[in-house]
Every structure is written in structure tokens, then in C-alpha cells.
């Protein structure tokens, strides 16, 4: 399999959605639901109603769109299911978005899909690779997604999708069950043992790097750990005196985070990234990514922060 280069060309043009296609044959009737129907925690079936929202989710982590058709390409539904299964194994590193072009011809038309099956990787609302035609084998899918993950990590894109929960909502008056895995860390925080909380969250992250909740808990616990005993006024004075001192600036950013001034913290570090270079820039960027994890990758402030960071870097 040829490695797919990671890039970010122009945004996807959706202007054709909802508009009639002149001189086009009538759409085929929708095929019955089959292997291409999404049912996992990290896959979704695309319709005109949810398409824009799914593209928005590509601001957090890649969305892999698979176009399939039981009528035009028999067997392509199984390929879509294979991609969805690989997305499950990636545990949120990507989201599989499945498009049945028999049922959703307008989407295929708007995106100018030349054939099915066809896969497209989208990040930040834009194609991140060239469209990949045909059906890849399971081994080829695993290799492709591993390559993409490596390239994304190298570029500082570490976000993960939240799982599509199928659990029933908690009834009124009932308490939501607490996952026992997080109890030791949460108990340590409740007792003021911040170092203990960091250690407990670190164990969880080491055991499962894809555990988004543990990674977020570790990030915020480390912010609390770094700022123990720090005087806010002294920290701000040191940062004002040394605007390019990474340690001084990141300390104030941490204090802003704890004080609820999340956007101020992000802005401070984005500006620091923009005016530093080499190791200082890398250190500031890595610190900012850790603060993103502390807030949560689906938070709109984080989405905006990632866009600002990309502008500062490139």
C-alpha cells in the first residue's frame, strides 16, 4: 500500500447539498440497512441532517468518511464495516463516518465522489489526504491509520473523539455511577493529596493512553501540582518582566487555568509560541497541548485555541 501523504488542502465544498442536480437521473431507492450501518462507539452513519456536525467534529480529531453502495459496489458495505471496526480499535483517535450513497446521493454529489467504495480522511473540516479509492484490506487499513496517527502526533494533533454512548440516561433522583478506576485519584484530590492524584492518574494513562478522562484528570492534576505554593502577584510580575521566559509565562497560564481564565491562558501561550523558536517554542506548544487536554478536546475554547495555535505555528 502506498503511504498517503498528510496535508490540508482546501475546505470541503458543501454548497451542493440541498440543491437539485440538473439533468441527473433520479436517485436510486435506498438500500436496506446492512453491513455499512454504524453501530460502534466511534462510528456514525451520515445523513444530510448530521453531516455538518460530523465535519465539525474533525476539529478535534480525524474523521474518516467512507462512501459505499450495495447497488453500485456490492460488498462495499463490508468495507465500511471494516473501517468502523478499525476505528473502534483506535479508541477515539479517529471517527468512522459512513455514507450510503444509495440513500444519500446528495452528499456524494456535493463532494464529487467519482466512485465507490472511496475513503476520505478529514481534519479541521478539510481533506487531510488524497481520496483513497477501492477497498483496502484489514492489514492495509491498520497500516494506514497507524501512519496517520504518527503524522498527526508529530504535528501536535493529539485530540480524541468522545465515544457515542448507548447507555440509558440516569433516572431523576439517581446518582450517576462513578467509575471505580478513577476513585483513587479522585479520593486523593478530595483529601488534598495532589501528588498522589498525579500518581494515580499516571497509572491509568500508562495502562491505557487512549483513556481521555484519565489524560484530562492527569493534566489538571499536574497544573495543580505545578502551582502549589506559588504567589499569583509574584508570578505575574516575573512574567511581565520576562515576556519570552517560557517558565514564567507557563506558570501564569497555569494560574489562569485554575482561576477559571481559560481563554487568557490559551492566548498567553499561543502568543508565546508565535514569538519563540526551537526548543522554547516546542516547550510552550507542548504545555499548551497539555492545557487543552485538561479542559477537554470537545470544548469550543479548545477548538478555537487549536486554530489559533495552528496560525501561530504556520
Q: What is the pLDDT of residues 221-230, one digit of tens each?
A: 898 899 888 8
Domain 43-154 has CATH 3.30.70.270: no
Confidence at residue 182, expressed as pLDDT on a 0 to 100 scale: 82
Place of cell 483506535: 90
Q: Which of 42-51, 163-172, 211-220, 272-281 has the lowest mean pLDDT?
A: 163-172
Q: Specify whether the CB–CB gap between 131 and 62 falls below 8 A.
A: no
pLDDT at 157: 65
In the predicted model, is pLDDT for residue 22 greater than 70?
Answer: no
pLDDT at 69: 95
- Given a cut of 50, is residue 10 above it in pLDDT? no
Each domain of the chain, given as residue ranges in start order, spans: 43-154, 181-313
Which residues have C-beta within 8 Å of that of residue 18, sequence separation ≥ 6? 48, 106
Predicted confidence band of residue 2 (pLDDT cuts 50, 70, 90)? very low
CATH of domain 181-313: 1.25.40
β-strands 126-127, 43-45 pairing? unpaired
Q: Which residue reads 507542548 in cell numbers?
A: 286
Q: Give percent of the chain with pLDDT exceeding 90.
A: 35
Tell me the per-residue pLDDT of 188-214, one tens digit each, with 9 for 90 and over: 877 888 899 899 999 998 988 888 788
End-to-end CA distance of the chain: 30
CA distances from 68 to 74, 105, 259 (A): 9, 11, 49
> How high is the pLDDT of residue 301?
85
Choice between 81 and 161, residue whose per-residue pLDDT is larger: 81
The pTM assigned to this predicted structure is 0.47
- Greater confidence (274 vs 153) lies with 274
256 pLDDT band, cuts 50/70/90, is confident
pLDDT tens digit sequence for 285-305: 999 998 988 887 777 888 899
Taking only the tens place, the pLDDT of each residue in 88-99 is: 888 788 899 999
Contacts of 70 (CB under 8 A, 6+ apart): 31, 32, 34, 36, 76, 77, 100, 102
Residue 284 has pLDDT above 90, yes or no: yes
The band of 104, judged by pLDDT with boundaries at 50, 70 and 90, is very high
Q: Are 106 and 48 in contact (CB under 8 A)?
A: yes
Amino acid at each position: 500500500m502506498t503511504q498517503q501523504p498528510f496535508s490540508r488542502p482546501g475546505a470541503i465544498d458543501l454548497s451542493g447539498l440541498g440543491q437539485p442536480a440538473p439533468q441527473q437521473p433520479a436517485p436510486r431507492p435506498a438500500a436496506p440497512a446492512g453491513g455499512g450501518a454504524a453501530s460502534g462507539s466511534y462510528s456514525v452513519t451520515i445523513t444530510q441532517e448530521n453531516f455538518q456536525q460530523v465535519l465539525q467534529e474533525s476539529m478535534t480529531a480525524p474523521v474518516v468518511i467512507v462512501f459505499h453502495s450495495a447497488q453500485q459496489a456490492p460488498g462495499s458495505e463490508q468495507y465500511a464495516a471494516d473501517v468502523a471496526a478499525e476505528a473502534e480499535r483506535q479508541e477515539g483517535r479517529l471517527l468512522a463516518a459512513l455514507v450510503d450513497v444509495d440513500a444519500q446521493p446528495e452528499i456524494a454529489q456535493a463532494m464529487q465522489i467519482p466512485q465507490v467504495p472511496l475513503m476520505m480522511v478529514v481534519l479541521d473540516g478539510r481533506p487531510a489526504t488524497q481520496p483513497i479509492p477501492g477497498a483496502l484490506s484489514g492489514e492495509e487499513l491498520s497500516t494506514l491509520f497507524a501512519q496517520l496517527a504518527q503524522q498527526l502526533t508529530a504535528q501536535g494533533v493529539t485530540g480524541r473523539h468522545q465515544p457515542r454512548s448507548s447507555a440509558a440516561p440516569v433516572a431523576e433522583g439517581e446518582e450517576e455511577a462513578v467509575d471505580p478506576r478513577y476513585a483513587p485519584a479522585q479520593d486523593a484530590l478530595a483529601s488534598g493529596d495532589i501528588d498522589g492524584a498525579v500518581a494515580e492518574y499516571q497509572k491509568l494513562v500508562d495502562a491505557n493512553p487512549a483513556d481521555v478522562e484519565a489524560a484530562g484528570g492527569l493534566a489538571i492534576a499536574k497544573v495543580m501540582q505545578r502551582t502549589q505554593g506559588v504567589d499569583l502577584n509574584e508570578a505575574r510580575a516575573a512574567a511581565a518582566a520576562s515576556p519570552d521566559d517560557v517558565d514564567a509565562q507557563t506558570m501564569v497560564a497555569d494560574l489562569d487555568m485554575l482561576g477559571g481564565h481559560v481563554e487568557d491562558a490559551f492566548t498567553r501561550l499561543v502568543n508565546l509560541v508565535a514569538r519563540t523558536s526551537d526548543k522554547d517554542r516546542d516547550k510552550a506548544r507542548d504545555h499548551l497541548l497539555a492545557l487543552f487536554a485538561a479542559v477537554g478536546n470537545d470544548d469550543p475554547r479548545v477548538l478555537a485555541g487549536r486554530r489559533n495555535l495552528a496560525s501561530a505555528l504556520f
